[in-house]
Amino acid sequence: GQQVMQIPQYQHVQEGEDFTTYCNSSTTLSNIQWYKQRPGGHPVFLIQLVKSGEVKKQKRLTFQFGEAKKNSSLHITATQTTDVGTYFCAANAGGTSYGKLTFGQGTILTVHP
């Protein structure tokens, strides 16, 4: 079955430093999504990437989808304490999967003030 690997597993940064998490799929994807889960909370949708090489920005967050549509990254510029949480990529293989997502194991981000 489809495998989604996410690295690093943990990232500790000082407030103001940048942060990047990477996601790699064993298969070509239809689209990829990113979710954020605060401690004790549930996953919350951040963005969906569909096109090869796509780059999207949300304020300090930059999302990229690889040219081969098998990898993706999330970059946060100048982290803030509000960025604390676990960031998951979620891969959709398309076809008849009806939007089935395979989640990576997540990157836990801690930000020291």
Partner 1 sequence: EAGVAQSPRYKIIEKRQSVAFWCNPISGHATLYWYQQILGQGPKLLIQFQNNGVVDDSQLPKDRFSAERLKGVDSTLKIQPAKLEDSAVYLCASRLTGTASYEQYFGPGTRLTVT
How far is residue 31 from each of residues 11, 71, 107, measured CA to CA in Å? 25, 10, 20
Q: Does 97 bind partner 1 (CB under 8 A)?
A: yes
Instruction: Print the binding letters for residues 14-43 with partner 1: x by CB under 8 A, - otherwise.
Output: -----------------x-x-------xxx
Nearer to partner 1, 4 or 76 (CB): 4
Examine residue 3 and tell whether it contacts partner 1 (CB under 8 A).
no
Asked if 48 is part of the footprint of partner 1 (rule: CB under 8 A), the reply reads yes
Task: Based on the shown chain and the rule CB under 8 A, indicate whether residue 72 belongs to the binding site for partner 1.
Answer: no
H or E element, residue 31: strand 31-37
- Distance from C-alpha of 83 to C-alpha of 77, rounded to nearest angstrom: 10
Tokens of 84: 């604390």
Q: What is the DSSP code (8-state) at residue 50?
A: -
Q: Which of 3, 16, 38, 45 binds partner 1 (CB under 8 A)?
A: 45
Longest dimension (CA), the chain: 46
Interface ranges with partner 1 (CB under 8 A):
6, 31, 33, 41-45, 48, 50, 88, 90, 92, 97-106
